[in-house]
Structure formats: structure tokens, C-alpha cells
Chain A
Amino acid sequence: MTLIDFLQRLLGRDKPSGAMARERLQLVLAHDRSDLNPELLDQMRREILEVVQKYVEIDLESGDVSLETGDRVTALVANLPIRRARPQASELMQEPPLPVAESAPASPSS
């Protein structure tokens, strides 16, 4: 590491490559372990959003459905900020709309 590199790092302009390696690995392993192909994952993501949108209006811009991995278990994690409940579903909603995070463990990698 040269002094310039070091200063850049200190000022937060340059992310250390070790951290990048970790992040990239975690992402690629989540996919490797789930054994889902990207098309299927995309289709599932669309269908999940369709179902959720039947009940609540969600913020598609900031929402995200993705695979995450930890401790050799891959999870499907959905983070879907809710704008408001749909009129017909409002009776079901007891509390004011909040961003929800749901996760369902998928099968461990095989």
C-alpha cells in the first residue's frame, strides 16, 4: 500500500479490496448454494411482488427481493416498503403501514 492509497483509504474514497472480496463472495455463494437459475429467481421475484401488491401498495423503487447467505443456509429476503394498504385490505391492517422485512429459510445448499 503506497502512501497515496493509504490517504485515499483514510478519506473513505477507496474501499479495501478485502471487504469487496467478502461481499462479492457472499453474493455469489448465496446463488451457488440455492442452485436457482437467475431466470427462475426473477420469475419468483415478480410473482411475489404481484401477490404482495394485491394487498398493499409497495414502493417498487426501494423494494428488493434477494438471496442472502449465512452459516451455510441461504435465505430469500424480501424488503418491501409499504406505501399504504389497498382499500379492500385495510380491515386486515391493524397497524399503520411500516416497512416489512420477511425472510424464509430456503433449503441448505446441496
Chain B
Amino acid sequence: MPGAVTTASARIILICSGKGGVGKTTLTANLGIALARLGERTVVLDADFGLRNLDLLLGLENRIVYTAQEVLAGSCRLEQALVKHKQEPNLSLMPAGNPRMLEWLTPDDMKTIAKLVAERADYVLIDCPAGIEQGFKNAAAACQEAIVITTPEVSAVRDADRVIGLLHTQGIQPVQLVLNRVRPKMVANQEMLSVDDVTDILALPLLGLVVEDEQVIVSTNRGEPLTLNGNGDRSPAAQAYRNVARRLRGEGVPLIDPSKQRRGLRARLLDKFRKTGNF
């Protein structure tokens, strides 16, 4: 890994997707909280300087005083910029600076910031901007490993593929996959790409599987991630995010494909006809 940040202490993980709106920031916020609850000192770093939102999903938007910009300029100490989460003090946010930073920010600047926060963390999660332009390149330069998140839609999978290609050429390893917004019923009816379809096409190990869940929207409205204590106890997405955190730490949590579980009569009949070669 030429030029990548290496610290003995922290794992620096990029969370990226290529396409916008597939759930990068939601994953970063929920995974950050889940890791913090497991006792890991975690820093979430908002690398989306143009359209920052991580502060909003974590409910920390009113507590930002300094940002990565002031840290880089040396006009504040790192501790002054890091915003500690009240309920989960193991989690801190490094807010993105002004969008004008994009004009001069370099991959080396991102490395500097990541290295600084990594000194006092076990996990650093970098919330990557959408796209494959400079913002992505800056964020990718600072990480050692990556999580690619996508949904079972052709455009999202195609964009994820582009990003995976770029991560591979940069020597980032491992790259793991989180499949978001799966609708088990549609998959069972063969009206949606299946989990196997997506993992086959992208050829990545599956780190997590998140089913479509309205609770995600409710929690973002409130600025309280589902993985917070007492929140989302009955939410399948919350459970999925917690499982991602545990797998990331190396715990062997089995992956269950929900579309293979609740198969209705129609789906099973269709399968039968399929096998006889009718299609």
C-alpha cells in the first residue's frame, strides 16, 4: 500500500458507494454508534465537504464549533474540533469543513487528518462523498480498507463496480460489501437482484445485509441513529448494522438471506417451473 496511512492503533475504513443516496452516511452513523457501544473508541470523519450530512444524522449539527479545516490550518487543537456524542462518549465526529476547502484540499491533507484522529481511536470511519472525482480520491488516500455499500439496483451496482475497480488499483485491502435496502418479497418474486446476484457480479465478500426498513427514516428525522441504546430494538435494519459492527471486529455472526426464508407459494411454484426449463 504505497503512501497509505499506517498506525498501529486504529483501523481506518472508507465507506463509499459511487452512487449517491444509497446509504453511505446512514451506515457510517449507525456503524459508528454500534462500534462505540461495543467499547471501541470510534471517530467518524466526514469527508463529504461539498454536501456534509453526517453531523445531521448523528444529531450533532448544533454542537460543531471547529472543523477539519481549522485543524489543518493549525488554528485549533484536534480535541476542540472533535464532537463527542453525549449518549455514546466512545464516538466522536470530525466535522467536514467549508465546501470551499474542496478547491485546495489534497490527498495528503486527508491523510494528515486521518492520522491525527487515528492516534486516539480504535476505528476511524471515513464517510466518502458520492462520485469518483477528487473528493473520493482524497478520502481513499487516507484509508487502509473499505466498505462498499450498494442497493440491488442496476445503477447503484454499476457505480459500485467502478468504485471497486478504483479501490483495487489503489491497493486498498480488504474491500467488503454491504447490501442495503433489500426487499425480500421482491427478491423472492424475482423482481429484484438477489443477494447472490450482487455478490457474484461485484465479487466481494458480504459484510452485511440490510433490509428496507421505514425505521431508518424515522431515526434520521430525529437525529438518533437506530443503533443507539434503546432505539430501534425492533428494527431489522438496526440489527443488521449491529451485525456489521460485530463482523468487522472479527466475530462470526452468520448472514441470513431473508429472501430465502419467507418464500411464499408463488415463489416456490415459480422456482419449480423454472427448474423444468420453462423459462
Contacts and interface: CB of A to CB of B under 8 A. Distances in A.
A38 interface: no
B154 A21 contact: yes
B266 A6 contact: yes
Contact of A18 (B162, B194, B201): B194
B190 A29 contact: no
Interface in B140-160: 152-154, 157-158
B104 interface: no
B165 interface: yes
A71 to B, nearest CB: 5
Secondary structure class of chain B's binding surface, majority of residues: helix
Nearest to B277: A12
Given A9-B270, A10-B269, A32-B158, A22 B197 contact: yes
Contacts of B202: 72
B269 A18 contact: no
Interface of B: 152-154, 157-158, 161-162, 164-165, 168-169, 186-187, 189-194, 197, 201-203, 266, 269-270, 273, 278-279
A1 interface: yes
B193 A18 contact: yes
A22 B152 CA distance: 10
Interface string A1-31: 1000010011110011111011011101100
Nearest to A12: B278
A33 interface: yes
A18 to B, nearest CB: 4
A1 B191 contact: yes
Contacts of A43: none
A25 B154 contact: yes
Given A109-B165, A110-B165, A29 B158 contact: yes
